[in-house]
Chain A
Amino acid sequence: MLRLIKSESFKLSNKLKAWLGPLLIMVLVLIAFPLSIDISQYDLDKFYFSIIVVSLLMTSFVATEGMFEEDFEDGSLEQEFLIEKDFYKLVLSKIFVYVCLIGIPIAFIGALFSFANGVAIGSFAKVFLLLSLSNLLLFNLFAFGNALSINKGAMLGVLSSLPLALPVIILLGRAIRSIQYGDGFSTIIILMLGIGLVMSAIMPLIISATLKTHID
């Protein structure tokens, strides 16, 4: 497992486009949005969360696009299958590395921008935690979409898994309201953490079976 985490981190950190692209898109959207509207008309500190949520959805969508495609194309998946006999550990490692190297920085950027746009500094940690957990859920879902259509262009599968992300967005919206009105935040975070843990355990099993079908 450690071997896989090490090699996946090494590979991802050497693919500049794969990790820097989503971060730049996040920054770009969060900067462009306030510039494109007449700020004085809106209560930006409340309104800004919506755009963070949409940016988060979009960037996690882009970040997971090539998660398994490259390994499928160059034959690395077959090699990994010969060592491990399934892809469970590989998928688990990949999602972990993607969340650490892309998801958490994205969450940090989101939290930073929400603070810069008038959200109370005391909420920074809450926003960061919330966005990190959301990324964990979204990366698991989109990794599944990526695995689904690995031989037909991974983006197609990620798109088809988009409806699965809607409950996460609804949950995220509820959590944001709880931050804004200071009510029931911990309940929602515990719920998200629980779903995240269950999903992180089960989703790699499903993705592993999907990948095996593709290399067969």
Chain B
Amino acid sequence: MKLFSAQNITYSINENKLFHKLSFEINSAEGLHIKGGNGSGKSTLLRIILGITSPSKGSIESFNQDLKIAYLGHKNAIKNYLTPIQNLELLFNDVELNLAFKWLHKFGLSHVQDELTANLSFGQQKKLALIRVLAKSSELIVLDEPFVGLDQVATDQLNNFLIEKLSEGVGLVFTSHIKPMIECKVLHLGRNNA
């Protein structure tokens, strides 16, 4: 099933084209890995796909207006003055909360679950932020550099989770400098796109 398609997407900042006339589509059970150097517009493209940022030219067509999207960008969207448990309670309903607690345990965060999130390390905060995506039922997962800050165990767990989600029919779009274990289409942003 087609989730969305991008037609001739162009994005410019002060006359400089980050990318030019990109066209692609995402279907269920399909992954898209967006690659490119620093400043090539990977995060911007994700935000355009999500509808947060408007493209300079071109359009994104979504085939389901009520598409459930799980997104994790550069900003973690976690509250430093709350504990990990409180952060999760803020995000999830009772059903999802059980799954979120399981991920908290899997990621080895159980021993810090009652500490202030501000006191956690960068990696621990990243894991907590990832639980937002992992425990949420969604049809499309959008991740910006999801492997940054994760140890090898957590990286493998995330890879396995994403492979499992793809097999369940969820669409996946992500940016990463690390070669993932997931088989998916690759979109390379660079000079040839501008």
Interface residues of A (CB under 8 A from B): 7, 10-11, 14-15, 70, 73-76, 78-79, 81-82, 85, 215-216
Contacts and interface: CB of A to CB of B under 8 A. Distances in A.
A87 to B, nearest CB: 12
B77 A215 contact: no
Given A14-B81, A15-B81, A75 B52 contact: no
B90 A75 contact: no
B107 interface: no
Contact of B74 (A14, A70, A75): A75
Contact of A11 (B52, B77, B90): B90
Interface of B: 47, 50-54, 69, 71, 73-82, 86, 89-90, 132
Contacts of B73: 75, 78
Q: Which secondary structure dominates chain B's binding surface? A: loop
B76 A74 contact: yes
Contacts of A216: 52-54
Nearest to A7: B90
Contact of B77 (A7, A15, A75): A75
Given A14-B82, A14-B86, A74-B77, 15 more contacts: A7-B90, A10-B86, A11-B79, A74-B75, A74-B76, A74-B79, A75-B76, A78-B52, A78-B71, A78-B75, A79-B77, A79-B132, A82-B50, A82-B52, A82-B69
A11 B80 CA distance: 11
